Amino acid sequence: MVSTSTTVAASGRQYLPVTTDISSPNQSLLPLTARVNSQQHLEVGGCDVVDLVKRFGTPLYILDEETLRTACRQYRQAFEQHYPGESLMIYASKAWNCLAVCAMVASEGLGIDVVSGGELYTALQAGVKPDIMYFHGNNKSIDELQMAIEVGCTIVVDNWLELRTLVSLAGDQPIRIMLRLTPGIECHTHEYIRTGHLDSKFGFDPDQLDSVFAFVSQQPQLNCVGLHAHIGSQIFELQAHQDLTGVMVQWLSKAAQYELSIQELDIGGGLGIRYTESDDPPSIEAWAKVICEGIVAACRAQNLALPKLIAEPGRSLIGPACVTAYTIGNQKVIPNIRTYVTVDGGMSDNPRPITYQSVYRSVVANRMSEPLTQKVAVAGKHCESGDIVIKQADLPETQAGDVLVVMATGAYNYSMASNYNRLPRPAAVLVHHGEANLILQRETYQDLLRQDCLPERLKEF
């Protein structure tokens, strides 16, 4: 069990250092090291957030190393405890792919799931070994496939075109592949992040199983080692994942009929995290237990040997480990309607609210002990009416220059960040035991022009 800060709703105050037992980081709104110091400032990783802002500026991603490493270890240990066969945890790096994050999760014994040549290149430069890298994607380019073949990572094949392309690209050394299949399982999450239902752009349809297995079995250039499925993201239900284990073992049994020696089952990821007080995700251990016991039971029923079991957590590893700090600017009070509090970032550093209608919680890092006296909308600085970071936030009385911290921003914030309105992307720091290290430099205006080209005829206007 670990302890962290939680809401004291009855007191009308912010997230004070009240000890609450939780099972895993994905159940915490704040990083595990978060506390309020003697100055009534928020600390993360032993670092005063107000001091971090003075040193590195805002917006600023603050990544807590202890929270990330704890989540990695809990996943690995849970599968070791509940699965009698071999297992491997793989970080779904699309959640946040950079050198430091890839290196940290690899140092915890996890593999890396990549979905582009850029993510593959980054993971390789971080020192991740190709034999624990899995390359996903529904429309990999020829160049990306050739890169994956050359480095020797496992390619998760998504469709017929990719399958036939790999056959044409194969040389003397067989290409290590898995097959991604659509299980036809619905789960309650945003429609944009549901991937396991039949109407999905990902994977071979279930009615193609026989033809796919027959084709692969006749291709000596392809070493088909496993099957993959993923039902979606930010999922709180355990039943959907339990159902998936049974479906995947049925596929495993069918593959054997075509003399395919499937050694691995990749169950995907999808475990949700707590973004608000009302969110109640299962713990990492509870999720792992359902997966492991489901695979074991289904294999026993089919009289099959246990495969190597792979899972691909992303959001639940990195999401709770990070917060984003902003500097508050102006306020706009519309009597009897709304008060807007503006920050110096928004949809360019966190596009999830405008894209998925995602909800976040926030605190004012330099006013942690003050009562929550105003209900406001936290607005971004972009030239879009829809650039609202939080539609309804309970905050103390704030003023320009205060530091607003938005929680659980590790997943799909930096990785989906843009230069909309020509805003430079923020910096990111890794905090641990009172030390802060820059892991992503803040972009400059010069960086924004790096790829611009100005034709000669336009230089004299």
C-alpha span between 345 and 351 (Å, rounded):
11
- How is residue 408 written in tokens? 């659980």
Q: What is the DSSP string of 86-138?
A: -EEEEEEGGGS--HHHHHHHHHTT-EEEE-SHHHHHHHHHTT--GGGEEE--S
Q: Locate 288 and state its tokens.
A: 């792992």
First to last CA, the chain: 67
Q: 322: number of CA atoms within 13 Å, CB side?
A: 27
Catalytic (active site) residue 383: yes
For residues 48 and 410, give the distance between their C-alpha atoms in angstroms, rounded to a whole number: 19
Torsion angle defined by CA atoms of residues 137, 138, 143 and 147, in that order, rounded to the nearest 10 degrees = 30
Marked catalytic residue, from 153, 292, 383, 453:
383
113 forms beta bridges with: 92, 134
The rounded distance, in Å, linking the Cα atoms of 231 and 244 is 8
Residue whose token pair is 């820059």: 438
Query: Would you say 61 and 429 are in contact if contact means Cβ atoms under 8 Å apart?
Result: yes
Q: Distance of CA 308 to CAs 115, 213, 258, 299, 446, Å?
A: 22, 19, 19, 12, 48
> What is the torsion angle, in degrees rounded to the nearest 10, for the CA atoms of residue 87, residue 308, residue 216 and residue 118?
10
What is the set of active-site residues? 383
